[in-house]
Copies of this chain bind each other. A is one copy, B any other.
């Protein structure tokens, strides 16, 4: 049994992690400022006596110290971050503050309160436009989004804190993740556009962008597997799914699930927005060697997401 702090634990991925870690018998405290997270994601967790929710901001140093002083944690799952990659093109501070500075603040608090274990939500975006089949030891690392830059910067500090203060780290790098409780992304955008105009769907780019979409519950299992079965100073793994989904397939699935016959209009070009990586997949050999494989394919995961959103909004299924 571990005493775990999950930062950003009311968010999409963090809340699934909270559910699973509680199920596995751990004590879980979630810290979230509810800027992207939602209390409703923690409905189930809140009924568990081993669970505690604290609302507040990681960048408030005094507050964070208090959380660590009271918590007596042995492991931090640091999930808090901006999760809307496109957003910081206009304002890079969004990611510098919410994705990097939050990591740095958590590391300082861990150092000051003697917490030595950190599990970190990193991203395929650190690889930039590296192309296909990238493994964990790929270089050079030139991320093209501020989000990717902030996650790589976070990894860098996690590494130097490991060396300087005897921390141990589990760095898991995520592709696009979909499923229940997702709060934004292309699927949402498509559904919203179709609600406004059920006859036509404008899609950014030419529809050929292709990415692996990992189902959130598969992701959470992999994160916990890496944490429980590896023991290097820094353990780092790509997490993902071998199958991929094009933007065109996603758009067609949304239209189908909404029961519409909308025409798709592509704006052209091979990327949806600046910082988008149009054709990405990375090597999963390392995580496969740990015996993990996702249960849900990329297309199935996308469809689950669509159905979840539509269901919640009372439109369909």
Contacts and interface: CB of A to CB of B under 8 A. Distances in A.
Given A92-B108, A156-B153, A275 B144 contact: no
B141 A149 contact: no
B160 A146 contact: yes
A145 interface: yes
Contacts of A275: 160, 163-164
Nearest to A141: B141
Contacts of A145: 160, 163-164
Contacts of A107: 92
Nearest to A100: B153
A228 interface: no
B143 A160 contact: yes
A315 interface: no
Given A137-B139, A141-B139, A148 B160 contact: yes
A194 interface: no
Given A139-B140, A139-B141, A156 B164 contact: no
Given A92-B108, A96-B104, A104-B96, A141 B156 contact: yes
Interface in A265-292: 274-275
Q: Residue among A92, A108, A146, A153 with the most chain B CB within 10 A?
A: A153
Nearest to A126: B156
Interface of A: 89, 92, 96, 100, 104, 107-108, 111, 126, 128, 136-146, 148-150, 152-153, 155-157, 159-164, 234, 236, 274-275
26 contacts: A92-B108, A92-B161, A92-B164, A96-B157, A100-B153, A126-B156, A128-B159, A136-B140, A139-B139, A141-B141, A141-B152, A142-B155, A142-B162, A142-B234, A143-B156, A143-B160, A144-B160, A144-B163, A146-B160, A148-B160, A149-B159, A149-B160, A152-B156, A153-B153, A164-B274, A164-B275
